[in-house]
Homo-oligomer: A and B are copies of this chain.
Amino acid sequence: MRRVAIAASQTARFTKTSEKSIFELACEPCIDIVKSVRDIDAVLLSTCSTEQYSSTIVSEMLGIKPKISHRIDNLCNSGTNAIASAYSMIVAGLCDSALVIGAEKSDSKGNRLVWDITRGSFNFPVHWAAMFAKAHMGRFGTTEQQMAAVSVKNRKNAAKNPNALFRKPVSLEEVMSSRRIADPIKLLDCSLACDGASAVLLLSEERAKKVENPVWINGIGQQTNSASFAGAAENLSALETASRAAHDVYRMAGVRPSDIDVAEVHDAFTILEIMAYEDLGFAKKGEGGKYAEKNEIAVNPRGGILGCGHPIGATGVSQVSEIACQLAGTAGKRQVKDCRTGLVHNLAAAGSSATVMVLGVQK
């Protein structure tokens, strides 16, 4: 089967808001990529924006006439869904190159879960995050300090990332004393919706041979359990979607959790990163909190969602972009040393759906 490589990736500076349209935002990370490559066969735009024909409008603005163009959305894991689609189209031979763009405005309609009547009036994501945190604390003794440690680590990483929304580190005390939003979740346990865009260029194996440092997509795992929170969370302290997706991706890529050198995990709330350690097999069940204090592998070197901000349709693309940079050795000040195998973990809506990807380089 034909292999697929990430040949280029770019992330724009994430900002609280901006005057830019969703189309202008989407073009921003693509300018250099488009200049560097001939023939882009597919343009897939990941966004929860309600604009029509958006992928094709962005293609026109970029001066590209691709064979394939469409927009993809699935809330916060739209980005990895778009990359999985582009990967598939290249493997299937429908195209040899695909530009996947993620873009979102801070006021995106995807930020509130009004469609889920099982949530009643609790349609802000922080409400399910609070339930997850309470359950994990009650069942495994996870502490608020352990959650806070995730925020401290990711904000520290974000300080080295010129594109992150939050460039100022925070201390454990600052996280612990920040305003309580929905007990036990505090302000600094939460990510913030923002404006942002990211793009990756995927190439077929034949075309990637001419590229320096191609990063290979070695595995993709996906699982959808429900749309509503009531159906998503049979067990409030673990995400079956993520663990199933992880199981599939490890098998497809032929690697184990211990082979992962660097990862971007979906830390929209600190508790989600702790659950991710367990769901991905980095830590044993119930030991995610302790793992957060040890920090054995490099998780969220770009600063994660907590540090970078959460432009929801762009998040999955920016996660993949970061791991591609890390594996290609182009991550600058935040470069993780000697990494050969990386992982991306991207969730939507209380983990009701999940994508996990494994990328790798030959060294």
User: Does the CB pair A220–B75 fall under 8 Å?
Assistant: no
User: Does the CB pair A224–B65 fall under 8 Å?
Assistant: yes
A55 at the interface (CB under 8 A from B): yes
A66 at the interface (CB under 8 A from B): yes
User: Does the CB pair A67–B223 fall under 8 Å?
Assistant: yes
In the complex with contacts A222-B67, A224-B65, A224-B66, A52-B48 CB distance below 8 A: yes
A56 at the interface (CB under 8 A from B): yes
In the complex with contacts A92-B91, A220-B94, A53-B225 CB distance below 8 A: no
Residues of chain B within 8 A (CB-CB) of A65 are: 223-226
User: Does the CB pair A70–B74 fall under 8 Å?
Assistant: yes
Assembled-state Cα–Cα distance A154/B1 (Å): 43
In the complex with contacts A68-B222, A115-B51, A348-B53, A231-B60 CB distance below 8 A: yes
Which A204-249 residues have C-beta < 8 A from chain B? Answer: 220-228, 231, 245, 248
Assembled-state Cα–Cα distance A94/B71 (Å): 20
User: Does the CB pair A1–B81 fall under 8 Å?
Assistant: no
Count class of interface residues, chain A: 35 or more
Which A147-195 residues have C-beta < 8 A from chain B? Answer: none
User: Does the CB pair A224–B52 fall under 8 Å?
Assistant: no
Residues of chain B within 8 A (CB-CB) of A51 are: 115
A110 at the interface (CB under 8 A from B): yes
**What is the minimal beta-carbon distance from A93 to any residue of chain B, in angstroms?**
7
User: Does the CB pair A224–B56 fall under 8 Å?
Assistant: yes
User: Does the CB pair B81–A92 fall under 8 Å?
Assistant: no
Residues of chain B within 8 A (CB-CB) of A353 are: 56, 69
Stretch binding the partner chain, chosen from A82-90, A138-146, A258-266, A283-291: A82-90
> What's the number of copies of this chain in the assembled complex?
2
User: Does the CB pair A71–B70 fall under 8 Å?
Assistant: no
A349 at the interface (CB under 8 A from B): yes
Residues of chain B within 8 A (CB-CB) of A68 are: 81, 84, 222, 224
Assembled-state Cα–Cα distance A49/B183 (Å): 36
User: Does the CB pair B71–A72 fall under 8 Å?
Assistant: yes
A326 at the interface (CB under 8 A from B): no
Assembled-state Cα–Cα distance A69/B226 (Å): 10
The contact of A53 among B75, B89, B94, by CB within 8 Å, is B75
- A sample of 25 inter-chain contacts (CB < 8 A) reads A48-B52, A52-B75, A52-B109, A53-B73, A53-B348, A53-B349, A56-B227, A56-B349, A59-B226, A59-B227, A66-B224, A67-B221, A68-B222, A69-B353, A70-B73, A70-B74, A70-B78, A71-B72, A71-B74, A85-B85, A87-B92, A87-B94, A88-B92, A91-B92, A94-B222
Known contacts A52-B113, A56-B348; 15 further A-B pairs (Cβ under 8 A): A50-B50, A51-B115, A53-B75, A53-B115, A53-B348, A53-B349, A65-B226, A67-B248, A68-B222, A69-B74, A71-B72, A88-B89, A91-B91, A91-B92, A92-B92
Spell out A's residues near B (CB within 8 Å).
1, 43, 48, 50-53, 55-57, 59-60, 65-75, 78, 81-82, 84-85, 87-89, 91-94, 109-110, 113, 115, 220-228, 231, 245, 248, 348-349, 352-353
